[in-house]
Each structure stands twice: as C-alpha cells, then as structure tokens.
C-alpha cells in the first residue's frame, strides 16, 4: 500500500516553508518514527517523522518551496519488512584524480540507484560520498569555510547523512582544514618548457617595474538562496520601518552598582540556584518596572484601537546560525532573578539547537536585544512588530565621567529605546529609558519598588 507523505500543519499563522533536506534517501526503507525531512518555516524549523514504515519515494527535492498539505513523497508499506535493503544514495559528485569533478546525470525519480564506488586508491572508499548541495545549510557552511572534502568525513546521521557534529569532529583532528590527497596520488611532473626568446627590455625604472606581472585578483561571485527565516526577518524589518513612526532615544548608565552586587553574590547565587547570575535578569526586571510606570510602551496599535495587555511578556533576542530569533519570557513580572536566568538559558539553547516552538516565539509585548556581546558601542534597535518598544543594550566600556565635580573612571554602557511615535510620546519614551537607568544603576530599587 502506498502512503502519502505530506507537509504537516505547524501553526495557524504558517502556510508554508522550505523543505531544507531529506534525512532518508530516495528508495530507502524507513521505520515508523524515523526522521524523513526537515521543514523550515518563517518561525520554526522542525523534523517531520514517518507515520508508518516503508520504502520512501521522494517527489519533491530538497530546497523546494512547499505549502501546508503538499504531497512531497510516498511510502510503499509493503517494503517495510525488508530489513536488509540498502538505502539508495542521493545523486553524488565523484571526485577523480584529475583537477575537475565529474557529476553523473541525475537518476529518474522513484528508481533505486546502486551505490557508487569511488576510484581505486581513494581514502574515502568506505565513506558515503556527499554532494555539497545535499548538505544541511549549517553543515555546508562549515565544510566550505574550512575547505573540507565532504566525501572524506564519515556521516553518522540517518542513512550515513553528514551532520554538524561529524564536521566538528573532523575539524578537531590535526590538519583538518587541509583537503587530503588520495592515497598514492602524486602531482604530475611536467617537462620544462623551452625558454622564451630573449628580449632586451628598455632601460629605465618604469620599464623595470612594468616587467613584473601583477597577480590577478579573484573577482568571482557566489549566489545563495535566502532561507525562509532570513526572508521573513527581512520582511519584518522592512515592515517595522514602513508601518511605524519609529524613533530612538539614547542614554548612558553606570554599571558599577550592578557589577559590584553581582560580584558579591554570584557564587552564592550559583550554588543555590544552579545558574550563573548575568546582567540580562537585571535589565528584564528594570524593563518590567518601567513598563508598569509607562504602560503605553507595553501596548500596540491594531487598526484604530490601542491594545494594552495586563501582562508583561518580554522577548529576548538570540542570534543563531540561521538568523535572529526572539523567544518570549512569559509573565516576566512574576519571575525571580533565578527564574529569569534559567528560562533565558533554556530558550537560548533551544534557539541554537533549532528546537524552538511556535509557543516560544508567539506574542511578546516588549523586546530586549544585546548588541554588546558582539562589541557594539551604540546602535538603533528596530521594532519587532506589532510591539511599540525595544530596548538595546551595548558594550560596557571603562571611560572617564564627572561625579560630584570629580573625574573618575567607571564602567559605562549606552542604552537605546526605539519606540513607535504614533503611540508613545517623546516625554514617555525618555522617562521610560531614564527609569531603566535608575533601576540598573541602583538595583536596590528593584527590591524596594523605590
């Protein structure tokens, strides 16, 4: 019996995405629950599993745009019991001893392709050959950055598929970034060509300089299709600037107080709660305090209405290899410093492992982004629609400031608040950011509500 493999529903607001890669080869026998393909949407990336066992027939190639409900393949369930069947490899690129690669013609769909044997003497003879185009984007990026020959890296994924961990393990080996030549391979010896006819150059420094040929610069261009997530990020950034009257106000704060408090309590804090005390929890607490005082910054515009939530769901921007995502810290006003630090750590790990769910990303009434971890001194954060405010943190720099008519050196940070001027007036925005500064410079305010 033939069972259709369809793109599943993953959320109300998601209508489609990109079939990034197949985890099983065309013609491979899979069991129920095995990973079939990876689907990347504008919000999440998930692995779709086989609902039943059988022989896989791929109908839509990796890299294709798909919509919810599309049939991308099928499973012949009569083949489910064939335990000794060898999965057919995807179309590969065989590297020969010459300087150029030879690409075989693609096999017809639904046809089992016999394994390809590499040329005799190659060290990767026992390794599954892999074409760069078949690799997951993050894996392909690692391979290209370190000039690795993908065919020399053993794959431990489903069907021998190459994973990021396989590449990192290969890079940990000495000389990993240098492609290994085939066993027994020797560079061809060319007979020396006859010397060119002797030409007497003109006398003079200009002529002497002209006799040296300058090296030719590499002017090649590469083109890569934007991922679904990156396309969505681009759309939302343009949307934020075209639909909101975005304005940014700046301030600076002295980090001495919060750094002294953190240094005094960080060891006891980590022993008790099992998590390190960072700066982000102070800024989340300060943001909640300021949002309570200036509720319009926690609001949004829908049509001709102002929607003002009674809760405080703070999004914390996390950078991943696929792009920037903003998982949401729910009910931040009800969480302790330890709760905030633990949940931020969990969300950050899920983001980098591409395991965030729609629930992790949906909603959010205010956002915080920290460009300081990359060395940014000052920047203008862009709103995350439909939110009306976003706080930008930056690098901590020791510099001279005036304190009571004295010049002292203090660890200083610039902070920025971008806001929707349609809803938030300049007075409220400046006062909001000033309250952030007051709470971080004197963190005891957060405990005493002063």
Give the residue numbers marked as catalytic. Answer: 421, 425
Helix, coil or strand: residue 370: strand
Of 401, 399, 397, 395, nearest to 378 by C-alpha is 395
Read off the tokens for 405: 């008519």
Report the alpha-carbon distance of residue 291 to residue 288 in Å, rounded.
5
Reduced to 3 states, what is the DSSP secondary structure of residue 294? coil
CA atoms within 13 A on the CB side of 240: 22
Residues 245, 422: contact at Cβ < 8 Å?
yes
**Gap between the Cα atoms of 336 and 88, Å rounded:** 54
Q: Provide the token pair at 71.
A: 């049939």
Q: Write out the H or E segment, with its range, that includes residue 164.
A: helix 164-171
**Distance (Å, whole) CA 423 – CA 389:** 10
Tokens of 420: 């929707």
How does strand 314-316 pair with strand 366-370? parallel
Mutual orientation of helices 137-145 and 164-171 as an angle, nearest 10°?
20
C-alpha 419/C-alpha 248 separation (Å) is: 6
Structure tokens given for 83: 């335990």
Tokens found for residue 291: 């949002």
The CA distances from residue 152 to 24, 98, 123, 129, 147, in Å, are 20, 17, 7, 8, 12
Query: Whole-angstrom distance between the N-terminal and C-terminal Cα of the chain?
Result: 70
Structure tokens at 39: 């689907």
């Amino acid at each position: 019996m033939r069972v259709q493999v369809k793109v599943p529903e993953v959320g109300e607001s998601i209508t489609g995405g990109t079939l990034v890669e197949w985890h099983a080869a065309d013609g491979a026998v899979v069991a129920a629950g095995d990973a079939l393909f990876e689907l990347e949407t504008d919000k999440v990336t998930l692995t779709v599993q086989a609902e039943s066992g059988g022989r896989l027939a791929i109908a839509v190639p990796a890299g294709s745009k798909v919509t919810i409900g599309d049939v991308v393949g099928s499973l012949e369930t009569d083949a489910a019991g064939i335990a000794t069947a060898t999965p057919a490899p995807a179309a590969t690129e065989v590297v020969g001893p010459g300087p150029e690669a030879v690409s075989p013609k693609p096999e017809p769909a639904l046809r089992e392709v016999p394994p390809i044997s590499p040329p005799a003497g190659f060290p990767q003879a026992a390794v599954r050959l892999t074409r760069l185009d078949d690799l997951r984007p993050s894996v392909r990026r690692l391979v290209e950055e370190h000039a690795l020959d993908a065919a020399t890296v053993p794959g431990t994924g489903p069907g021998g598929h190459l994973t990021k961990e396989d590449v990192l393990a290969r890079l940990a080996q000495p000389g990993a970034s240098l492609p290994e030549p085939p066993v027994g391979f020797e560079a061809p010896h060319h007979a020396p060509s006859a010397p060119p006819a002797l030409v007497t150059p003109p006398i003079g420094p200009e002529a002497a300089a002209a006799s040296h040929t300058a090296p030719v610069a590499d002017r090649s261009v590469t083109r890569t299709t934007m991922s679904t997530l990156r396309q969505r990020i681009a759309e939302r950034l343009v949307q934020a600037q075209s639909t909101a009257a975005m304005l940014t106000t700046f301030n600076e704060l002295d980090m001495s107080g919060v750094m002294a408090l953190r240094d005094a309590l960080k060891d006891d804090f980590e022993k008790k709660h099992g998590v390190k005390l960072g700066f982000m929890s102070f800024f989340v607490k300060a943001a909640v305090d300021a949002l309570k005082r200036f509720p319009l910054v926690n609001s949004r515009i829908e049509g001709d209405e102002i929607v003002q939530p009674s809760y405080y769901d703070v999004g914390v921007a996390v950078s991943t290899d696929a792009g920037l995502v903003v998982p949401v810290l729910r009910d931040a006003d009800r969480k302790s410093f330890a709760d905030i630090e633990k949940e931020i750590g969990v969300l950050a790990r899920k983001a980098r492992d591409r395991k965030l769910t729609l629930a992790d990303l949906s909603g959010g009434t205010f956002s915080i982004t920290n460009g300081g971890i990359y060395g940014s001194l000052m920047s203008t954060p862009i709103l995350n629609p439909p939110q009306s405010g976003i706080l930008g943190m930056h690098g901590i720099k020791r510099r001279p400031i005036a304190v009571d008519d004295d010049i002292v050196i203090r660890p200083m940070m610039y902070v920025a608040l971008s806001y929707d001027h349609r809803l938030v007036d300049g007075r409220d925005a400046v006062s909001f950011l000033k309250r952030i500064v007051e709470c971080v410079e004197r963190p005891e305010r957060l405990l005493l509500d002063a």
